[in-house]
Amino acid sequence: MHMETPWWRDAVVYEIYVRSFADASGDGVGDLAGIRQRLPYLAELGVDAIWLTPFYRSPMADGGYDVADYRDVDPLFGTLADFDALVADAHGHGLRVIVDIVPNHSSSEHEWFKTALRGEGRDRYLFRDGGELPPNNWQSTFSGPAWSRTPDGQWYLHLFAAEQPDFNWRNPEVRSEFLDVLRFWLDRGVDGFRIDVAMGLYKAEGLPDTPPEDQAFKAESPIWGRPEVHEVYREWRKVLDSYPDERMAIGEVWTDSAEDLALYVRPDELHQSFNFAWLEAPWSATAFQKVIDDTLAAVTAPTWVLSNHDVVRHVTRYGGGLINSTTGLARARAALLAMLALPGSAYLYQGEELGLPEVTDLPPESRQDPIFARSRGTLPGRDGCRVPIPWSGVAEPYGFSPDGARPWLPQPVEWAVLSAEHQASDPGSTLSFYQEALRARRELRGSFTDGITWLDSPEGALFFSRGPLTCVINCGSDSVQLPPHERVLIGSAPVDGYLLPPDTAAWLHTP
């Protein structure tokens, strides 16, 4: 009996960084009502699902990833009624809804932590005695020590900002609380969860001092990837499986091997895990082929992603750091086409369909990422990929906010020609290209094979087939001869039918 493919296994998911997508209230900050207004745009773009970054009650010390109440909407973004209406409207447009869940840490304004500071229930977090010095040498991923001292002399662990105390997952109360939080949102109709810092949660017993190299995101370091975390996801999977309509979870797992990544997506654990090796690969056919081979060999439900709210936008990465690089944009479009041809799910980041580059010249006084503050300005932080989307018009706020309200991060003057409105009428625009590529992928879905077949490729290029589709990408500096084909289905740049230019990809139909 042929089983229908679960929706998430080959979905195209669009990440919405809620603060920066669309502002309906006019306060310069994106909100749930703004997303509702733009659902027709997302449906026309051709994605299958949206993923919302945290919209919960939060003091916004880390853009909402410091959660004060896991069961409510922050007034900055709207109300629970706004959320319910957004889910209903999204489903009406045929879009699934994935929400972020942040289980490694809460906000220091969470009721549990405020109670802990009063001396009660400290076992929900990781408090330790340490004297004048922190209990160990662990460093925050946001720069500086991973410990802060309370007025009574104890220290608490925070692997991110000081306003984000880490939970003690060895306390059964914490495990029970998050099972309840999952059910709360599943009961409201969400289709899945993106799990923040999914390789976190547990720390090694005794919290030992650790060499700096073991504090990186590695498998089974004392800080990350502890084996105990897998039992949590087995519990979560049972909850997800108890609901109809194929609810799912995807983990944010930074790790150093595809084999370790595969541990999170065993049949009784998470459905998917982000594959950051693709995002981290340089512009190289050899590098791309290795990531694809390693991923497909290790993971049964692969994912692919080029940008997200935590990394430099790939237009700028591929352009060698230049903001308005034509090379970077050409490579970004080519990489998108190669990614969409691979088995599995593709995760897009808002604005990449407009070809938005990283904003590298934000004034220091406008930056809000705690990485910038904690590193005393030596690290730029992640604000450059979080600048609000340009929708229309020729000046800030480019239709992001009504009545000309200034957005929470300034938008570049160069973005007038990158707005969705400006690109919609241009068949050669990046937006039109994304729409065409996603439409072609939908049309081919039924004929795709589960895997790919590598074809002989010229130096610097990568050719592979997947059913009737042959995907070609040229990462070299010279044009290469195309393999035999019936016709060109789509190209990231013009393709004459015989030669594939540098920094270009194409889909070919092969009989």
Per the domain annotation, does 221 fall within a domain? no
pLDDT value of residue 257: 85
In sequence order, what DSSP letters do the residues of 309-366 get, joined into one string?
Answer: TTS--HHHHHTTT-TT-HHHHHHHHHHHHHHHTSSSEEEEETTGGGTPPP-----GGG
- Asked whether residue 43 falls in the same domain as residue 187, the answer is yes
- Asked whether residue 41 falls in the same domain as residue 93, the answer is yes
What's 133's domain CATH number? Answer: 3.90.400.10
Q: Is 252 a catalytic residue?
A: yes
- Asked whether residue 391 falls in the same domain as residue 318, the answer is yes
Per the domain annotation, does 205 fall within a domain? no
What's the average pLDDT block by block, 10 residues per block, for the chain (511 residues)? 77 98 98 98 98 98 97 98 98 98 98 97 95 94 94 96 98 98 98 97 95 81 94 98 96 90 95 94 97 94 96 94 82 98 98 96 91 87 96 97 95 95 97 98 93 97 97 97 95 93 96 78
What's 475's domain CATH number? Answer: 2.60.40
pLDDT value of residue 2: 38
Q: Is 72 a catalytic residue?
A: no
Per the domain annotation, does 293 fall within a domain? yes
Per the domain annotation, does 60 fall within a domain? yes
Per the domain annotation, does 24 fall within a domain? yes
- Asked whether residue 398 falls in the same domain as residue 281, the answer is yes
- Asked whether residue 292 falls in the same domain as residue 414, the answer is yes
Domains in the chain, number: 3
- Asked whether residue 135 falls in the same domain as residue 275, the answer is no
Closest C-alpha to 175, from 119, 240, 228: 228
Answer with the one of 410, 425, 440 that is the final residue of a domain: 425
Catalytic entry in 196, 269, 352, 396:
196
Domain that holds residue 478: 452-509
Answer with the one of 390, 425, 460 that is the final residue of a domain: 425
Measured CA to CA, the distance from residue 298 to residue 293 in angstroms comes to: 9
How distant is the alpha carbon of residue 496 from its chain centre? 35
- Asked whether residue 63 falls in the same domain as residue 134, the answer is no
Per the domain annotation, does 327 fall within a domain? yes
- Asked whether residue 418 falls in the same domain as residue 492, the answer is no
Per the domain annotation, does 436 fall within a domain? no
- Asked whether residue 117 falls in the same domain as residue 60, the answer is no
The answer for residues whose C-beta is within 8 angstroms of residue 41's C-beta and 6 or more apart is 420
- Asked whether residue 331 falls in the same domain as residue 378, the answer is yes
- Asked whether residue 311 falls in the same domain as residue 351, the answer is yes
HSE, CB side, 13 Å, CA atoms: give it for residue 159: 23
Beta strands in 64-191 (DSSP E): 69-73, 96-101, 127-128, 147-149, 155-157
pLDDT value of residue 322: 67
What's 27's domain CATH number? Answer: 3.20.20.80
pLDDT value of residue 56: 98
Catalytic entry in 191, 252, 358, 503:
252
> The pTM is what?
0.97
- Asked whether residue 281 falls in the same domain as residue 406, the answer is yes
Per the domain annotation, does 328 fall within a domain? yes
